[in-house]
Amino acid sequence: MSDFHSFIGIPLNQQINKVFSQLQSDYELEKYYKKIVDKHDFHLTLLYLGGWDAQNRVKLWERLNKRLNAYPTVSLRFQQLDFFGKPKQPGVFYVKAAENPHLSNLHTIVQEEAAALNFPLEKRSFKPHVTLAKRWKVTTSNKPKHWEFPMEMNDVFVTADTVCLYRVHPHKQSMYERLSTINLSE
């Protein structure tokens, strides 16, 4: 086991972070959720590694560096708000990324390289998203009536030009520390 939890993800830029922070405010997520994601922590997860051992994590990152060094940047479009969990008390409130073959292929590469090192992959399908809030706060109340998921929003576009290895700091305000970065090709 590793001495900390980690994941591989795509960071977002400051401009998009402002838009997503505004969505948190517009929907008053702090009233309903225990954990509001810090604006510096917005990302799109490609693979959660958890406490996978450090030696394998390093090997995986080396393999991804070789495999992704010529991978092109990925254009992302966010177009809907949605949730995971119970419909009346949605446990995770997120921004959904539109389907994109380049993003799906990037995810597949990360999965293939992890599987080659015997990482236990999840069976769930890839649902690219950026979490805005999680852990429903009030067990006696349901979501507001005007939250009809999926909820359309103005399209938000961003170019993903890096993939990062993150360390999780669960008890800090900004929970995710970038340990290493792979730059995608222009």
Residue 148 reports pLDDT greater than 80:
yes
Residue 112 reports pLDDT greater than 90:
yes
Residue 86 reports pLDDT greater than 60:
yes
What tokens were used for 161?
Answer: 């030009």
What average pLDDT does range 94-106 have in this prediction?
A: 95
Q: For helices 101-116 and 54-68, give the axis angle rounded to 10 degrees.
A: 140
CB neighbourhood size of 74 (10 A)? 21
- Measured CA to CA in angstroms, residue 100 lies from 70, 74, 81, 103, 129 at distances of 18, 9, 17, 5, 12
Instruction: Report whether 182 contacts 69 (CB < 8 A).
Output: yes
Confidence of residue 3 (pLDDT cuts 50, 70, 90): confident
pTM of the model: 0.92
Contacts of 142 (CB under 8 A, 6+ apart): 88, 89
Residue 1 reports pLDDT greater than 70:
no
* Phi and psi at residue 123, to the nearest 5°: -90, -20
Kindly write down the DSSP assignment for every residue of 80-99, as one continuous string: EEEEEE-SSSEEEEEEEEPP
Q: Do β-strands 74-85 and 151-160 pair in parallel, antiparallel, or remain unpaired?
A: antiparallel
Dist. CA 164–CA 178, nearest whole Å: 6
What is the amino acid identity at position 42? F
Average pLDDT, the chain: 93
User: What per-residue confidence (pLDDT) applies to 145?
Assistant: 85
